[in-house]
Structure 1
Amino acid sequence: MTPKAGSGPVILGLTGSIGMGKSATARMFADRGIPVHDADAAVHALYGPGGAAAAAIGAAFPGVLDGDGGVDRTRLRAAVLDAPDRMAALEAIVHPLVRAASTDFMARHAAAALVVLDIPLLYETGGAGRCDAVVVVSAPPEIQRARVLARPGMTEAAFAAILAKQMPDAEKRARADFVIDTSRGFPAAEAEVARIVEHLTADRAEPHHGTG
């Protein structure tokens, strides 16, 4: 991809399957001063007490709210497990609110040269169409598996269920403009982040002089 010309920031989608190191990579962009919109954090806020989605989810799925009025994710997961119609109903509530949070983020950073949309299911939800370029964070399957199963409470069944909802890593890599392999170590990943930022903001870094 060539650097974007014109007004408005370059929009870089950041995605990757579970256990690939996406969150750590997102922090690398943020550490370089790049505004990063974390879709998972946005959902967490929507689900929390007083969050924009909590009341609607509680009405659609009785019993899933905790004592503070926030969404209990364990109860919600049980309510939609193996029920595509219920999952669709949940997505109909949450997705428009997530999109609104993203729109607000873009408005707040309209003057930036580059912004990152950190979206776990970027391809699966059609979000790549909003991006000028996409970077996929990846690692070999055995490393992914070891990382995920080391997480507290994670089981083989839960890992398999998560993978079933995600586009295969090979397909994501084939579609991506950039791929960052975190199995090579985080210093190498940081170098790749620096290279991507430099490439996508190259035309913004040079001063533009008037002729008069």
Structure 2
Amino acid sequence: MTIVLGLTGSIGMGKSTVATMFSDAGVPVFDADATVHALQAPGGALLPAIEAAFPGTTGPTGLDRPALRQAIFGDDTARTRLEAIVHPAVAMQRQAFLAAHAAEPLVVLDVPLLFETGGDRTCDRVAVVSADPEIQRARVLSRPGMTPATFDAILATQMPDDDKRARADYVIDTGMPLDATRAQVVALIACLAVAEGG
């Protein structure tokens, strides 16, 4: 039986880096963000529905992210309308991924808003990627175009890190050298292999 491990973490916590570590170790990883980007790329399946709901936010280059951000910023109703377009499409892709890897002992669902969207209910275990708030803030503010106000706005849409840690089965600490984080990932894979075998 396949163990489905949900992998999540707030912005700047190093989730993508940890997801790559799982992939490097041979564990199939479903990347929800990459799936969304593909669905919103030029010719992407979601573009007509997004354009209909938010006119002027798509074009020949696919989704105009700044325009869409502007269209939904601070508007919970607009955000809900967008999620109603995106989430079912991502769920279909996730089901296809799980079906394709049904023979694997372990798969990872890399989902930024796993708890916020109730995605944790589809997982056997959940691992949260975390680091100290000071490390998180420094990482995010070093990104091009990121401002403290934008960072705070993004954090406001995410479950607090303390709450995520409390709900997780495992916490992967990224506030340390990469080799130490990788060792945690390897140990977790081994732990889950024992659980699957038992």
Q: What range describes the TM-score normalised by the shorter chain of this pair?
A: over 0.9
What is the rounded CA distance, in whole Å, between the counterparts of 2:166 and 2:28 in structure 1?
26
Which stretches in structure 2 are left out of the alignment for 5+ residues? none
Alpha-carbon deviation of 1:67?
2.8
1:178-197 paired onto structure 2 within 5 Å = 178-197=170-189
User: What corresponds to 1:48 in structure 2?
Assistant: 41
User: What corresponds to 2:79 in structure 1?
Assistant: 87
What is the rounded CA distance, in whole Å, between the counterparts of 1:94 and 1:200 in structure 2?
31
User: What corresponds to 1:62 in structure 2?
Assistant: 55
CA contact (8 A) 2:42 2:60 kept: no
What is the rounded CA distance, in whole Å, between the counterparts of 1:23 and 1:153 in structure 2?
19
Which of 153, 160, 176 lines up with 1:161 in the alignment?
153
What are the superposed Cα offsets for residues 76-110 of structure 1, whole Å, 9 maximum, x if unpaired? 11011111111111111111001001001001101
Given residue 158 of structure 2, which amino acid in structure 1 is its aligned partner? Q
Alpha-carbon deviation of 1:66?
2.4
Given residue 200 of structure 1, which amino acid in structure 2 is its aligned partner? L
Given residue 118 of structure 1, which amino acid in structure 2 is its aligned partner? D
CA contact (8 A) 2:3 2:196 kept: no
1:6-155 paired onto structure 2 within 5 Å = 7=1, 9-68=2-61, 70-155=62-147
Q: Radius of gyration: which is bigger?
A: 1
Q: Normalised by the size of structure 1, how large is the TM-score?
A: 0.91
Alpha-carbon deviation of 1:186?
1.1
Alpha-carbon deviation of 1:200?
0.7
CA contact (8 A) 2:7 2:15 kept: yes
Runs of 4+ residues deviating >4 angstroms: 203-206
Alpha-carbon deviation of 1:51?
1.1
What is the rounded CA distance, in whole Å, between the counterparts of 1:123 and 1:203 in structure 2?
23
Which stretches in structure 1 are left out of the alignment for 5+ residues? 1-6, 207-212
What is the rounded CA distance, in whole Å, between the counterparts of 2:119 and 2:72 in structure 1?
23
Q: Normalised by the size of structure 2, how large is the TM-score?
A: 0.97
What is the rounded CA distance, in whole Å, between the counterparts of 1:10 and 1:153 in structure 2?
38
Alpha-carbon RMSD across the aligned residues, in angstroms, is: 1.2
Paired positions, count: 198
| SS of match in other structure, 1:50 | coil
What are the superposed Cα offsets for residues 108-138 of structure 1, whole Å, 9 maximum, x if unpaired? 1010000000000000000001111010000
Alpha-carbon deviation of 1:203?
5.3
CA contact (8 A) 2:6 2:111 kept: yes
What is the rounded CA distance, in whole Å, between the counterparts of 1:18 and 1:144 in structure 2?
7
